[in-house]
Structure 1
């Protein structure tokens, strides 16, 4: 399939990311409602604040936008954001050079682009509940298209059975697309979600892909959908299991120090953060992933 146009494919992808966002927001608010016992159950249930976001092009004209949905200070979630966006315009010189270096054809000759996706990061009240990240996206230029994204688990207090459940669920959703796919995307995640200056991973991994273009748009989109579909069954049971556990100040200290690692990674290395800021998207939406509190030695 050539890249030119693809109006119906773009609409289908953007619609999917929005529907996945709606499903996740509903599930997260239901998790807040269910927290009627244990730590912080006396406080009001958390609810998402939804804010439209806008991107302006270099000429000041409308260049798309989306929805920033953030919940703060809930019973289960200390801060969680579930953002969707669909943006378009012209790539800057640095973005063109970066994509050309990755082998994306034609971006320097024709720098127009369109991108749509969902991005989620959850930081939890209870240190026993693992933080988590998920994003999937479609990117288009007049000469190319591709999908990217993934999900990874970021516990500050690790439980081997939680890690196994998360990975097993991802594998079950990816296996129909090829038995070799989950192992390859797991290795990619281990390499991508690594903090070189700390010499360690930011969590216990997951799956990750970028520049996914086999030439079969429908097959690649189906894979992208299944990464998104895997998220709730992979993570929600862990939150339900751990959300009522007692914690102490030592546990909270471990959590805040681990969040420092997360903040360092997202500000220094994360490709999505760099792209969002470089292309003029709403900085509050781009930096939604940062934790509300963190701690360094």
Structure 2
């Protein structure tokens, strides 16, 4: 059944289901130094459930991004959230030899989740046999967006070898990139060039269908450019992408990283609700082309007298 909430830009969503969430599920990770902690959230009902593997932003953990994870799970997705080595919960010191390679460990974490889907599926009571392994999306916010983009086909110039490396994964069929950093080189600020040399992506080979979400007031100290830096994954990648530009949004995009989070400088529940519904509708569109939700949400947004954003595709 489809219901429409007129208070939130007329974006239609399916009726929410109860959610079962289990954490932490520990995945053995030889050579990483820490077992990989994972949270799995799933609707209590439904079969052939598509999967979203979500990469958190710098410092966060499996406990973050509840506004997105809760919504996606309540509306038919299994959401899997690994805790990367940069999480504040792990307190990895800057001098740790793994620190310069965390960008690489992050991608490996996401792939390890895919490698051990059977174990993760079994960790949630009643979830066994209900996953649709042919419909898997990668999503991420900020640094997590760069992590997800590499699974989608973006290449990063390895600061050690100077070579571009393909770390994409064919199991990933769709993506959602939220406030994801743009190209490096001359576009990086001096502090970013010095401390984050791995922030040098190429999106020329990112061919997987992807929704890019960017705020038009997201001014980062990591770039000498303006908020348009965060639209690079859309404009510098091949066609088949969509871009949601959020009006007035800063890096937290209204508060997607958590409820009542202090680092949210642009708290806006309506904006978060819009992101929830549009990301859900986009993934439904990619995984089930006959689903009308994406076209309906775009139309509803365009018809708003004072829209919170705009969508374009190319």
TM-score normalised by structure 1 residue count: 0.31
Larger RCO (CA within 8 A; separation ≥ 6): 1
Higher-helix-fraction structure: 1
User: TM-score, structure 2 length as denominator?
Assistant: 0.29
